[in-house]
Structure 1
Amino acid sequence: MVGKRIKVDDLPEFDPTLYLDSEDAIAAYLTDILAAGDAGLLAAALGDIARARGMSDIAKSTGMTREALYKALRPDSAPRFDTVARVCAALGVRLVAMPSHE
């Protein structure tokens, strides 16, 4: 099949939740996302992890409604730190500061 072109629209959409099946995978995913320094990307990543773990359970643990959690964790959002902290606690992860070595 040399020469056959595949259109981007024909490719399946990537779903990271399929790979977020362990604490190590989740920690590695968040570490990479945090390195980007993008609040919207962090929100989307936390949303991916929450979906992988069960959005209803995470919403209940944070004291938020599912709808509010979906809204706070959409890619174009800039969630407040207390929201990020509550979601991280519900997911069983913590954000850690490390010295940067340039």
Structure 2
Amino acid sequence: MTALLAAALGDIAGARGVTEIAKSSGLTREAPYKSLRPDAQPRFDTVAKVFRGLGVRPRAEAG
């Protein structure tokens, strides 16, 4: 599941501009590329920063 989420975020960040996402999230330019490739196992704090940089607020609900 983590790899799928990382790959999806990588696609979204790529479409919006990884460099811009990195700047707005406080990450180095290389961090999103490394953390969001399909085979990556990103840390939660990195994923949270990318969400913040994208302006996305993830939400979980009990089903």
- Point out where structure 1 has 5 or more consecutive residues left out of the alignment: 1-37
**Which residue identity is paired with 2:3?**
G
Q: SS of 2:57's equivalent? A: coil
Q: Could you tell me how far 1:95 is from its partner in structure 2?
A: 1.0
Which of 1 and 2 has higher RCO (CA within 8 Å, sep 6+)? 2
Distance 1:88 1:82 in 2: 10
User: TM-score w.r.t. structure 1 length?
Assistant: 0.58
Cα-Cα RMSD: 0.9
- Point out where structure 2 has 5 or more consecutive residues left out of the alignment: none
Q: Computing the radius of gyration over CA atoms, which structure comes out larger, 1 or 2?
A: 1
1:40-81 per-residue CA deviation (whole Å, 9 max, x = no partner) reads 010011011001111110011122222221000011111111
**Could you tell me the percent identity over the aligned residues?**
65
Once the two structures are superposed, the pairs formed by residues 3-82 of structure 1 within 5 Å of their partners are 38-82=1-45
Count of aligned pairs = 63
User: TM-score w.r.t. structure 2 length?
Assistant: 0.91
